[in-house]
């Protein structure tokens, strides 16, 4: 991106940092360092140029990442000056963000459910909408039973980690075709649910024994190959195999639910996330595959987001 970062180093004065609009002119005091308040303000203004950014929040998160300070420290200590090394790190992070890199990949972390997960460019950035799958699974299944549950297409392992951390009696298996994503999931599961979860790099549920699972939960790719949304926001930087699934976006849901039929126990539970306009198509797929009690659930914005069912006995 051609946009310049305003926390610029003026030519010929490489040790000084100049802030546009700063009443304390840097020409009078060339060695003066920017304060936290100034750095956050100018960065937030710059980040307004990005579509779908949360400028002030992102500026704070990047400054925390660059300096190692807690967010509360930034808010309670806004007049503190930023040292040269921290400032150089901060500027480089802001440049990356201005070039379109998602904030989650820059920080290497993303909040999901109650957890702070590791994410990389090999994993989808977990979305708040996906917490609906966690809620539905926690509501529908007995908390203290020793259930075997599979998170199909686990990416960072977000769903498996959330469920396993909430339900110590359950065992969570996370699967993903990407070995690199599976490594990230392994680290997140070790950190958040070390005693009752594991990960396998494989095609959906392929290596799982028939009739062994109590539940299959998944947020598979479901965007149509030609959907222009694939060019918006963070999506162009996320792995395409995590997002797109054929001409109608339903290839992955068909494949994974077909595999689930053989591997679920009788009355086994399935919960799948899908696009807001795919509810009726997903209900039809699950009905055709032998599931009953099929219900589509809405997310917080009132849009159809996940469909659940029970394998007919
Ligand atoms: C939409 S992402 C979801 C990631 C994670 N569950 C989440 O909600 O953040 C879909 C995931 O499915 C994985 N995937 C795609 N095709 C697969 C397949 N055939 N077998 C297993 N995983 C697959 C992708 O690698 C990607 O990590």
Centroid of ligand 1 to alpha carbon of 155 (angstroms): 5
Domain definitions of the chain by residue range: 1-100, 121-311
176 by DSSP, 3-state: which? strand
Per the CB < 8 A criterion, the answer to whether 46 and 90 are in contact is no
Read off the tokens for 156: 């960072």
Cα 52 to middle of ligand 1, angstroms: 24
Mean pLDDT on 10-24: 36
- What are 49-74's pLDDT values in tens digits? 998 879 999 999 999 999 999 999 99
Atom of ligand 1 nearest to the CA of 181: 27
pLDDT per position as a tens digit, 212-233: 999 999 999 999 999 999 999 8
Query: How distant, in Å, are the alpha carbons of 7, 65, 159, 292 from that of 38?
Result: 9, 17, 39, 58
How many Cα atoms within 13 Å fall on the side-chain side of residue 139? Answer: 9
Asked if the domains at 1-100 and 121-311 fall in one CATH topology, the answer is: no
Percent of the chain with pLDDT over 90: 87
Over the chain, what is the mean pLDDT? Answer: 91
Q: Which CATH superfamily is domain 121-311 in?
A: Vaccinia Virus protein VP39 (3.40.50.150)
Give ligand 1 pocket residues (Cβ under 6 A): 124, 126, 130, 153-156, 158-159, 175-178, 181, 203-204, 219-221, 241-242, 252
Domain 1-100, CATH: 1.10.8.10
Per-residue confidence (pLDDT) for residue 3, from 0 to 100: 39
Q: Cβ distance 242 to 182 under 8 Å?
A: no
Which residue's CA is minimally distant from atom 9 of ligand 1?
A: 126
Tokens of 3: 């946009």
* Ligand 1 nearest atom to the CA of residue 126, by list position: 9
Taking the centre of ligand 1 as the mean of its atom positions, its distance from the CA of residue 55, in whole angstroms, is 29
């Amino acid at each position: 991106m051609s946009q310049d970062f305003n926390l610029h180093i003026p030519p010929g004065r490489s040790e000084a940092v100049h802030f546009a609009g700063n009443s304390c002119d840097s020409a009078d005091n060339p060695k003066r360092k920017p304060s936290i308040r100034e750095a956050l303000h100018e960065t937030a203004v710059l980040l307004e140029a990005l579509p779908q950014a949360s400028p002030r929040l992102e500026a704070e998160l990047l400054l925390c990442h660059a300096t190692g300070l807690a967010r509360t420290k930034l808010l309670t200590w806004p007049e503190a000056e930023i040292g040269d090394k921290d400032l150089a790190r901060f500027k480089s992070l802001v440049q990356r963000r201005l070039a379109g890199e998602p904030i989650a990949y820059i920080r290497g972390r993303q909040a999901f459910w109650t957890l702070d997960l590791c994410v990389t460019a090999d994993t989808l950035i977990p979305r708040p909408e996906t917490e609906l799958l966690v809620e539905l699974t926690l509501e529908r299944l007995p908390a203290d039973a020793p259930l075997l549950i599979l998170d199909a297409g686990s990416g960072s392992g977000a769903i498996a980690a959330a469920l396993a951390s909430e339900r110590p009696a359950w065992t969570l298996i996370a699967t993903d075709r990407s070995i690199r994503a599976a490594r990230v999931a392994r680290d997140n599961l070790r950190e958040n649910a070390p005693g009752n979860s594991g990960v396998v790099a494989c095609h959906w549920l392929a290596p799982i024994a028939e009739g062994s699972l109590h539940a299959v939960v998944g947020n598979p790719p479901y965007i149509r190959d030609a959907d222009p949304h694939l060019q918006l926001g963070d999506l162009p930087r996320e792995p395409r195999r995590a997002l797109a699934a054929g001409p109608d976006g339903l290839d992955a849901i068909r494949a994974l639910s077909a595999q689930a039929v053989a591997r679920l126990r009788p009355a086994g539970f399935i919960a799948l996330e899908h696009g807001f306009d795919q509810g009726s198509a997903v209900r039809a797929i699950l009905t055709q595959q032998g599931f009953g009690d099929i219900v589509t659930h809405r997310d917080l914005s009132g849009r159809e987001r996940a469909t659940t069912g029970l394998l007919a006995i």
